């Protein structure tokens, strides 16, 4: 997703903007640019490609000299990645902007502006916004922004320079996130905290339809009627180390290794006397007893965490759970209302589909519970109840530690719900909670054997397509393993319920096709083994992830990774680790950009 930065201070703005943008690279982008107030007016440098291409262009054309400016990494939506479509965009003589999100009614606005005699150089909705601001410009920037905002719909954030105000950056947001950082005689705008952490840990969260005004003297905020707004100054609770690779080759590998600590940070504070205690999140046994049905709504990896949640909640608490893809949920007129609980799981808390699903659920009278990693994000702020996952910043596009803490929360929630509903007794709840707290040590042990997984991934170098199979919780895991592999290795793969293969998909198996089987559920073991034999008999090369008590014969597994065993119910916490590592090593050996896979964005704030 696009990244916005801005700097007002005493230092060389171009260097700071490029450095800050580099901290937003994880969001995914295909072009970058900056605009700086110089002695000769606003100088724009922009380029298709990576930040290195932008820097090369600046070196060739001359670095803009100035101390106030805005910058952008673009993830193309309206128009192909190109120098022309890159941001910043000018809107006539008065306005230069960077933009994240979508101006939904840009076509109508463009027609209107063309009718007023304006012409456009790019295909972007951003240039339409820039021209609209210029069209309404009356010498008063705040008034101009407020006027233009009346005309636009969509979710977006903007960083704006007005030519007549060379020492000032203006910013406004509607839905899309934007923060305003404050340091010593300098201030910043950014789409996310990592961009400014090197300079300051203190920031304000710009809210919906608020305008920020940044000068060297400080920052101020107002609403669309120009009324001053006082805001709470926040302090980022993680430091630069959390946003750096710290010796790991990739953020993804670092984040895989951070999983034990992330679980501890997420689980330990929610356990009292050996039992889960979520009352600080607004959840008590009384509230839990009210709910008839649970819906878990999310996207991608977060949705897969919901799949684990479904199995665990239904098994322990005997409450029906429907897991929905957020983009489907909102358009299928869901049968929800009072007495239903909607759990929204999201790392970023800004995923447009998940946010919209949550708003719909609220409107229909259901209670909403957010399981979110990003502090102060939109999903976190709007939910009725909130459980923060404490994964820390997740930089790699492929989600790993966020998934781990999402499923940890699913367990805690299921344990407390099952106890509240009288489906398990205190002793069983204590036993399960204690096991959950032991998982970090098991994961550390698994990570000590990551070379075994690396060797397992070698045969995938030339694979064109493969299958993940499993039953029950192992099927939920297969879905996550398959997504992880797809997104970073670009190898086509599908996850299948192992028992479903014979109903059609088994016809895809050819000699040498890799099949990754997850087999951690003892009750289902014999059945899963039969399904593995079916694919093996048809020539598949099999990779087995199973518990250590199982010693597979060669007619079952060509490659095997054996996991320490805990209660079957908790095996996903362990089994996902080799699946993450298989995807990671497959992507590394194929020479892919692991942390920034093609076409993907970390936070998907468009529908």
**Do the bridges between strand 154-162 and strand 179-183 make them parallel or antiparallel, or are there none, so unpaired?**
unpaired
602 catalytic per annotation:
yes
Nearer to ligand M6R, 64 or 597 (CB): 597
Q: Do residues 155 and 162 make contact, with C-beta atoms less than 8 angstroms apart?
A: no
**Do the bridges between strand 340-346 and strand 367-372 make them parallel or antiparallel, or are there none, so unpaired?**
parallel
Q: How far is the CB of 256 from ligand M6R (least distance, A)?
A: 12
Catalytic residue among 48, 450, 536, 602: 602
How far apart are alpha carbons 517 and 506 in whole angstroms?
A: 14
Nearer to ligand M6R, 380 or 457 (CB): 380
Q: How far is the CB of 76 from ligand M6R (least distance, A)?
A: 17
Q: How far is the CB of 472 from ligand M6R (least distance, A)?
A: 22
Nearer to ligand M6R, 152 or 395 (CB): 395
Q: Hey, what are 329's tokens?
A: 């949920």
Please spell the DSSP secondary structure of 537-598, one letter per residue: HTT-EEEEEEETT----TTT-SEEEEEP---GGGHHHHHHHHHHHHHHHHHHHTT--SSS-T
- Positions in the binding site for ligand M6R (CB under 6 A): 299-302, 346-348, 351, 354, 397-399, 483, 487, 603-604
**Do the bridges between strand 465-470 and strand 218-222 make them parallel or antiparallel, or are there none, so unpaired?**
unpaired
Nearer to ligand M6R, 5 or 374 (CB): 374
Nearer to ligand M6R, 45 or 348 (CB): 348
Nearest one of 173, 195, 186, 11 to 97, comparing CA atoms: 173
Sheet holding 340-346, edge to edge: 321-325, 293-298, 340-346, 367-372, 385-388
> Which runs of consecutive H residues, i.e. helices, occur in 246-382?
251-257, 259-267, 285-289, 300-317, 326-329, 352-363, 378-382
Q: How far is the CB of 301 from ligand M6R (least distance, A)?
A: 3
Nearer to ligand M6R, 214 or 398 (CB): 398
How far apart are alpha carbons 438 and 408 in whole angstroms?
A: 12
Strand residue runs (E) in 114-222: 154-162, 169-174, 179-183, 186-190, 202-205, 210-215, 218-222
Contacts of the segment 11-15: beta carbons below 8 A, 24+ positions apart: 11/67, 11/186, 12/63, 12/65, 12/67, 13/37, 13/64, 13/66, 13/67, 13/68, 13/69, 14/45, 14/58, 14/63, 14/64, 14/65, 14/66, 14/69, 15/63
Q: How far is the CB of 171 from ligand M6R (least distance, A)?
A: 22
Nearer to ligand M6R, 132 or 195 (CB): 195
How far apart are alpha carbons 15 and 63 in whole angstroms?
A: 9
Distance of CA 490 to the CA centre of its chain: 19
Nearest one of 168, 143, 154 to 223, comparing CA atoms: 143
Beta pairing partners, 33: 46, 72
Read off φ and ψ for residue 187, nearest 5 degrees.
-145, 165
Q: How far is the CB of 349 from ligand M6R (least distance, A)?
A: 7
Helix (H) / strand (E) element for 372: namely: strand 367-372
Q: How far is the CB of 306 from ligand M6R (least distance, A)?
A: 11
Read off φ and ψ for residue 604, nearest 5 degrees.
-100, 95
Catalytic residue among 2, 299, 429, 546: 2
Nearer to ligand M6R, 168 or 399 (CB): 399
How far apart are alpha carbons 300 and 310 in whole angstroms?
A: 15
Beta pairing partners, 388: 372
Q: How far is the CB of 33 from ligand M6R (least distance, A)?
A: 25
Which residue sits closest to ligand M6R, CB atoms considered? 300
Nearest one of 240, 536, 576, 333 to 439, comparing CA atoms: 576
Nearer to ligand M6R, 155 or 354 (CB): 354
Q: How far is the CB of 393 from ligand M6R (least distance, A)?
A: 12
How far apart are alpha carbons 97 and 170 in whole angstroms?
A: 9
How far apart are alpha carbons 230 and 222 in whole angstroms?
A: 8
Nearer to ligand M6R, 587 or 604 (CB): 604
Q: How far is the CB of 397 from ligand M6R (least distance, A)?
A: 5
Nearer to ligand M6R, 144 or 346 (CB): 346
Q: How would you class 225 by CB atoms within 10 Å of its CB: exposed for 0-12, middle for 13-18, buried for 19 or more?
A: exposed
Q: Do residues 368 and 342 make contact, with C-beta atoms less than 8 angstroms apart?
A: yes
Q: How far is the CB of 273 from ligand M6R (least distance, A)?
A: 32
* Residues classed as catalytic: 2, 602
């Amino acid at each position: 997703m696009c990244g916005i930065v801005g700097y007002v201070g005493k230092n060389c703005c171009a260097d700071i903007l490029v450095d800050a943008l580099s901290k937003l690279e994880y969001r995914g982008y295909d072009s970058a640019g900056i605009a700086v107030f110089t002695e000769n007016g606003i100088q724009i440098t922009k380029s298709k490609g990576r930040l290195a291409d932008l820097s090369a262009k600046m070196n060739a054309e001359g670095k803009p000299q100035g101390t106030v400016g805005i910058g952008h990494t673009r993830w193309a939506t309206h128009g192909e990645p190109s120098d022309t479509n890159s941001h910043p965009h000018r809107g006539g003589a008065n306005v230069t902007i960077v933009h994240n999100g979508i101006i939904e009614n840009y076509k109508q606005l463009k027609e209107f502006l063309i009718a007023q005699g304006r012409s456009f150089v790019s295909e972007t909705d951003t240039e339409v916004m820039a021209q609209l601001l210029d069209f309404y410009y009356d010498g008063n920037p705040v008034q101009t922004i407020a006027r233009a905002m009346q005309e636009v719909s969509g979710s977006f954030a903007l960083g704006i320079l007005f030519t007549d105000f060379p020492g000032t950056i203006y910013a406004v947001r509607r839905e899309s996130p934007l923060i305003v950082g404050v340091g010593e005689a300098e201030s910043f705008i950014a789409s996310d905290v990592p961009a400014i952490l090197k300079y300051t840990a203190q920031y304000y969260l710009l809210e919906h339809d608020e305008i920020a005004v940044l000068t060297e003297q400080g920052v101020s905020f107002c609403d669309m009627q120009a009324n001053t707004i006082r805001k709470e100054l926040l302090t980022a609770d993680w430091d630069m180390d959390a946003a750096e690779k710290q010796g790991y080759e990739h953020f993804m590998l670092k984040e895989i290794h951070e999983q034990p600590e992330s679980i501890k940070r997420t689980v330990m504070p929610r356990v009292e006397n050996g039992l889960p205690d979520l009352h600080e999140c607004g959840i008590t046994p009384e509230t839990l007893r009210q709910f008839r049905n649970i819906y878990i709504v999310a996207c991608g990896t977060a949705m897969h965490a919901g799949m684990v949640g479904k199995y665990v909640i239904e098994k322990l608490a005997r409450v029906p759970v429907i897991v929905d893809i957020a983009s489907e949920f909102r358009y299928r007129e869901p049968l929800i209302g009072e007495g239903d609980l909607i759990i929204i799981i999201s790392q970023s808390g800004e995923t447009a589909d998940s946010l919209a699903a949550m708003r719909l659920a609220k409107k229909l009278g259901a209670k909403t519970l957010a399981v979110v990693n990003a502090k102060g994000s939109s999903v976190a702020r709007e939910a009725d109840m909130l459980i923060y996952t404490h994964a820390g910043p997740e930089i790699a596009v492929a989600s790993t530690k966020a998934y781990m803490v999402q499923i940890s929360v699913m367990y805690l929630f299921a344990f407390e719900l099952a106890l509240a509903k009288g489906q398990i007794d205190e002793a069983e709840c204590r036993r399960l909670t204690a096991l959950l707290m032991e998982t970090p040590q098991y994961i550390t042990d698994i990570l000590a054997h990551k070379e075994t997984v690396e060797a397992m991934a070698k045969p995938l170098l030339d694979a064109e397509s493969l299958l993940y199979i499993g039953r029950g919780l192992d099927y939920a895991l297969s879905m996550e393993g398959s997504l992880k592999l797809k997104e970073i290795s670009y190898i086509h793969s599908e996850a299948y319920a192992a028992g479903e293969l014979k109903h059609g998909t088994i016809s895809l198996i050819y000699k040498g096709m890799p099949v990754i089987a997850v087999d951690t559920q003892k009750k289902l073991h014999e059945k899963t083994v039969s399904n593995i034999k079916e694919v093996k008999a048809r020539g598949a090369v099999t990779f087995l992830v199973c518990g250590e008590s199982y010693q597979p014969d060669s007619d079952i597994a060509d490659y095997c990774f054996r996991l320490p065993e805990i209660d079957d119910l908790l095996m996903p916490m362990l089994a996902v680790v080799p699946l993450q590592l298989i995807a990671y090593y497959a992507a590394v050996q194929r020479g892919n950009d692991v942390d920034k896979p093609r076409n993907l964005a970390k936070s998907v704030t468009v529908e």
